[in-house]
């Protein structure tokens, strides 16, 4: 394994992400988000599901015209009319991809599709052959793959490849699988279906058990070379694999995941902030990478360590993901070093006796008050301001 192998980042924020309750976007917002995703460096932008609505059709059209470098994908069922609608929406895309899908688990076949396994095989073949008339890149997804019979999945994927699919996507549609299971599934598809064919294995993981990123990473080590994810991890139910978490896991642990991608990590935080502002749906404070507390420190021991050397408690720099700086939060768990450091930032110097006096007042105040502001620090200073006060 070397860094010469690339992991393609397929962003579905505008399609799967937008399907999460409260996360819908207007056309202009989708275009703005697509521009930022290109700045971020994603390889594929899934812009919508054209047959679903006129709005989705127009969004795919608009993103297709806007994007200069990223491949633009449109989702469709394995129904020929869906394929035609997707192809029409992608007509002006510089790099179009038709992404067709069908469920393969017995529970979906019986209760949702009401189709036999043989019928699904025929649908797969017909749709992919139709799609190849309009795009060189055709992706096929076996919906609910992780609850499907593994031999049947391989049969469906074989059919897809024979019909012209260039990407095989293995979705964990309901977030059911575990990393070891998922790695085995990817390895099996690679061995039994792909072999040395010029076909990319992709994965699309949901977060119902909080394992979407872990499963995606396991899939990479097993042979997947495209990962489908969303900014801030938005998506159906508990969301999709979080783009920023996945990318930074690869960056920080390149010793174990020795592959490269084209993401400009300094654009991760700006992209997260843009999405939050568009959908008015912020991330939780303790969200990895882009949450408000991701680089904030309140505990005294942690603050001392970070002030001495950020590597004590930060495995990546805030700047590496586009966050301006870390944040030393003053509260009841803070120590003297953090308090002293904050006074120095405000332009005040105190000797050790004065800091001891101030610190006792600070602890008493912090026990009564959740948030400590600079005004509070000014109020508890000694009445005699030292001569060494900075300008």
Divide the 391 residues of the chain into consecutive groups of 10 and give the mean pLDDT of each group.
80 94 92 98 98 96 98 98 98 98 97 97 98 98 98 98 98 98 98 98 98 98 98 96 98 96 96 92 90 68 55 76 69 75 78 87 82 76 54 40
Q: Given this model, what pLDDT does residue 62 score?
A: 98
Q: How far is CA 196 from CA 14, 125, 145, 174, 188, in A?
A: 33, 21, 22, 30, 14
CB atoms within 10 A of CB 371: 9
Which domain covers residue 328, as residue numbers? 296-379
Decide which of 253, 279, 305 is a domain's last residue: 279
* Residue 33 contacts residue 25 (beta carbons within 8 Å): yes
385 assigned to some structural domain: no
Q: Which helix (H) or strand (E) holds 157?
A: helix 150-163
Distances (CA, A) of 317 to 72, 100, 185, 322: 32, 39, 35, 9
Same domain membership, residue 191 and residue 321: no
User: What's the CA gap between 113 and 124, in Å, rounded?
Assistant: 13
Specify the 3-state DSSP secondary structure of 130: helix
Structure tokens at 199: 């076909």
Same structural domain, 93 and 226? yes
Query: What CA–CA distance (Å, rounded) separates 33 from 35?
Result: 5
Residues 262 and 305 in one domain: no
φ, ψ of residue 40 to 5 degrees: the values are -65, -30
Retrieve residue 92's tokens.
Answer: 């002006």
What's the number of domains the chain is made of? 2
Task: Please give the Cα distance from 205 to 181 (Å, whole number).
Answer: 13
Predicted confidence (pLDDT) per residue in 232-279, tens digit: 999 999 999 999 999 999 999 999 999 999 999 999 999 999 999 999
Does the residue 152 lie in any domain?
Answer: yes
Place of tokens 């642990």: 253
One domain for residues 110 and 66: yes
pTM: 0.84
Same domain, residue pair 63 and 89: yes
**Torsions phi, psi for 73 (to 5 deg):** -110, 145
| Judgement on whether residues 245 and 115 belong to the same structural domain of the protein | yes
Q: 388 in a domain, yes or no?
A: no
Structural domain includes residue 391: no
């Amino acid at each position: 394994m070397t860094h010469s192998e690339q992991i393609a980042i397929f962003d579905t924020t505008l399609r799967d992400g937008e399907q999460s309750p409260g996360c819908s976007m207007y056309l202009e917002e989708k275009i703005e988000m697509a521009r930022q995703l290109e700045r971020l460096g994603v390889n594929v932008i899934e812009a919508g599901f054209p047959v679903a609505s006129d709005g989705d059709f127009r969004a795919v059209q608009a993103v297709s015209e806007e994007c200069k470098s990223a491949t633009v994908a449109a989702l469709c069922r394995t129904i020929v009319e869906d394929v035609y609608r997707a192809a029409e929406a992608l007509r002006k895309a510089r790099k179009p991809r038709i992404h067709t899908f069908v469920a393969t688990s017995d529970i979906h076949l019986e209760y949702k599709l009401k189709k036999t396994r043989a019928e699904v095989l025929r649908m797969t073949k017909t749709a992919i052959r139709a799609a190849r008339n309009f795009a060189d890149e055709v992706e096929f997804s076996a919906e609910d793959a992780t609850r499907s019979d593994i031999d049947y999945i391989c049969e469906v994927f074989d059919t897809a490849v024979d019909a012209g699919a260039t990407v095989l996507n293995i979705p964990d549609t309901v977030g059911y699988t575990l990393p070891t299971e998922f790695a085995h599934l990817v390895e099996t598809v690679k061995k039994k279906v792909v072999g040395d064919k010029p076909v990319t294995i992709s994965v699309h993981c949901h977060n119902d058990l909080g394992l979407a990123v872990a499963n995606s990473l396991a899939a990479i080590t097993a042979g997947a070379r495209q990962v489908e994810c969303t900014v801030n991890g938005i998506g159906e139910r508990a969301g999709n694999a979080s783009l920023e978490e996945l990318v930074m896991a690869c960056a920080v642990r390149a010793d174990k995941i020795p592959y490269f991608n084209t993401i400009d990590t300094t654009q991760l935080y700006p992209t997260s902030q843009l999405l939050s502002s568009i959908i008015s749906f912020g991330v939780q404070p303790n969200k990895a990478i882009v949450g408000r507390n991701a680089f904030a420190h309140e505990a005294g021991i942690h603050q001392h360590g970070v002030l001495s050397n950020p590597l004590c408690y930060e495995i990546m720099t805030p700047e590496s993901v586009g966050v301006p700086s870390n944040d030393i939060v003053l509260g009841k768990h803070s120590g003297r070093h953090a308090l002293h450091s904050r006074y120095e930032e405000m332009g005040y110097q105190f000797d050790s006796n004065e800091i001891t006096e101030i610190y006792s007042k600070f602890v008493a105040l912090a026990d009564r008050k959740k948030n400590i502001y600079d005004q509070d620090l000014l109020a508890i200073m000694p009445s005699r301001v030292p001569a060494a006060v900075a300008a």
